[in-house]
Amino acid sequence: MHETYEFEKPRIKKDLEPDELLQVILDYAAKIANERHLDNVLSLMADMGKEIVVADRCTVWLLDTQRGELWTKVAHGVSELRIPAGAGLAGHSIATGEPIFIDDAYMNEPYRDILANGALKTDQQTGYRTKAIMAIPFRNNEGEIMGCYQAINKMTESGVFSDHDLRNLSLAASYSGKSIESAMLAEEIEETQKEIIFTMGEIGESRSKETGNHVKRVAEYSYILALALGMSRSDADLLKMASPMHDIGKVAIPDSVLKKPGKLTEEEYEVMKSHAVIGYNLLKNSKRHILKTAAIVAEQHHEKWNGQGYPRGLAGEDIHIFGRITGIADVFDALASDRVYKKAWELDRILNLFKDERGHHFDPAVVDAFMESLPQILEIRDKYTDQLQEAQ
Ligand code: C2E
Ligand code: SIN
Ligand code: SIN
Ligand code: SIN
Ligand code: FE
Ligand code: FE
C-alpha cells in the first residue's frame, strides 16, 4: 500500500449530490444485507462510509463488551486490531455517545493527549499526515452503542468534515447495525454450541422422558410461527436455536415429581413450576445472544396472555414474543404427545382448546398464525415422532 507513505494527498474531490448519496447508500445496503461474514460486512461499511463523507480512510470499530476492547478487521495489512475499549478517539466517542470532529489533528487542543498517543504516533511511524478526523458512535436495534465510525482526512477542498457528513454517515450506520448483528450471530453459533454443550454437561444429562424430539419439535414449530408472524429470518433462526432450551430447568426437578404417572398435587405442581425460573437462572448470565434469548424463553414460556401464567404473571405484550410463540408450541406438543401423566389428544380437541384459549392463555395473533401454518406444523409432528424415544 504505497499510499501510506504519501505525505498529504491533494484534496480535489467533491461532496456527493443528494441523488449520488442515495445511490451509494442503496448499493451498499443491498450488498451488506446479503453478506453473512462479519469481516466483509465491516469492510463494506468502511468503504461505504469513505464514499459517503469523501474521506481518505474510514474504519469501523466494534465494541467487544466481553473483552472490554474495541476491534476492527479492516485496517490495512492487519487481520484484527484490538485496543482497550476507552482508548483513542473511537473509545472516547463510544464512551460519551457523542460524535467528535477534529479539523486538524496537529492543531487540536481538546484531544491533544489522545491524538499524541494515537493518530500522531502512527503518522510518525508511517509518514501519513492525519488532518481532519470524524468519529461517530452507532447503535444496535436495542439502542445500545455497538461501535463507531472513524473517518480520516476529508478529500474535498474544504478539508474538514461537516454536520452534513455526520448526518449522512449516521443514517448509513443505522442501516448497517442490523447486518452487523446478524453476521455476529452467525459467527457466534459455533462458540455458542460449545457453551450449550458445556452447560448441559455441567448440569447432568436431562432425565425427563419427553426431551429428545419434544425440544426438536418445539424448535421447529416456533420457527414456523415466527415466520408466519412476519418476523425476520434471522430472528426466526435465533428463536429456533434458543427454544430447545425452554424446559432446561426440568433437570432440577426431582424424579418423583417429573416422572409421576398421575396428576400432580398442588404442592408438586408448585415444585414443577419452578422449572421456569431455574432455567432462567441457568442461562441468564451468559453473554451470548442465543443463550440470553434462551433465558427469556425458559422464563416466559408458561406465561399467559391474560396474566394467569407463571412465574411472573406477565400479561399481553409484556410477555416477550419469543415466550408467547414457544408457549403455544410447547402446549401443542405436550397435548399432541403421550406423557407419563396423560395420553395424546386428538387434533380436533387441541384445535378447539386453542380456539377457546385465543385471547386467554394465548396471544390471538399467535393462535391465528398457528391455524394458518397448521399443514407445516403437522408435517413436523409426523417427521419427528417419539417412537424411538419411547422404546428406550
Ligand atoms: P409439559 O408436559 O411439557 O406440558 C406443557 C404445557 O402443556 C402445560 O404447562 C400445559 O399448559 C399444557 N398441557 C399439558 N397437558 C395438558 C392437559 O392435559 N390439559 C391441558 N389443558 N393442558 C395441558 P403446565 O401445566 O404449566 O405444566 C408444566 C409441566 O409440568 C408439564 O410440561 C409437565 O412436565 C408437568 N405437569 C403438569 N401437569 C402434570 C401432571 O398432572 N402430572 C405430571 N406428572 N406432570 C405434570
Ligand atoms: C469478536 O470478538 O471477534 C466478536 C465479538 C463478539 O462476538 O462479541
Ligand atoms: C483512535 O485513535 O481513535 C483509534 C486508535 C488508533 O487509531 O490507534
Ligand atoms: C438480531 O438483531 O439479529 C437479533 C434479534 C433480536 O435481538 O431481536
Ligand atoms: Fe415448561
Ligand atoms: Fe415443554
The atom number, within ligand 2, closest to the CA of 67 reads 2
For residue 351, what pLDDT band results from cuts at 50, 70 and 90? Answer: very high
- The residue from 250, 273, 342, 355 that is catalytic is 250
**Is residue 30 in a domain?**
yes
Q: 290 with 150, same domain?
A: no
Residues 226 and 336 in one domain: yes
- Looking at the fold, whether 126 and 86 belong to one and the same domain comes out as yes
For residues 309 and 268, membership in a common domain is answered with: yes
Domain of residue 250, CATH code: 1.10.3210.10
Asked if the structure places residue 12 within a domain, the reply is: no
Q: What is the mean pLDDT of residues 223-252?
A: 90
Q: What is the pLDDT of residue 1?
A: 42
Judge whether residue 389 has pLDDT over 80.
no
Query: Are residue 308 and residue 345 in the same domain, yes or no?
Result: yes
Label residue 339 by pLDDT band (50, 70, 90): confident
pTM of the model: 0.56
User: How much is the pLDDT for 391?
Assistant: 37
- Under the banding of pLDDT at 50, 70 and 90, the label for residue 132 is very high
- What band does 201 get if pLDDT is binned at 50, 70 and 90? very low
> Nine-digit cell at 246?
425452554
Domain boundary among 136, 151, 185: 185
Q: Decide if 192 is inside a domain.
A: no
> Rounded mean pLDDT of the chain?
85
* Mutation choice for ligand 4 from 32, 184, 238, CB with most ligand atoms inside 8 A: 238
Please check whether residue 260 lies inside any domain of the structure.
yes
Instruction: Give me ligand 1 centre to Cα 193, in Å.
Output: 29
Residue 189 alpha carbon to ligand 6 centre in Å: 23
Q: Residue range 106-123: average pLDDT?
A: 91
Q: Exposed/middle/buried for 309, CB within 10 Å: 0-12, 13-18, 19+?
A: buried
Which CATH number belongs to the domain containing residue 99 in this structure?
Answer: 3.30.450.40
Q: Which atom of ligand 2 is nearest to the CA of 65?
A: 8
Residues 165 and 220 reside in one and the same domain? no
As a whole number of angstroms, the distance between CA 289 and CA 279 comes to 16
Compute the distance between CA of residue 347 and CA of residue 354 in angstroms, rounded to an integer: 11
Q: Please say if the pLDDT value at position 196 is more than 90.
A: no
250 is catalytic: yes
Grid coordinates given for 241: 436455536
pLDDT at 33 over 80: no
Domain count, the chain: 2
Range of the domain at 111: 18-185
Residue 98 CA, distance from chain mean position: 24
* C-alpha–C-alpha distance, residues 214 and 225, integer Å: 16
Say what angle helices 18-33 and 163-203 make with each other, to 10 degrees. Answer: 10
* Residue list, ligand 1 pocket, CB within 6 Å: 260, 263-264, 272, 302, 330-331, 334-335, 339-342
- Is 233 in the same domain as 127? no
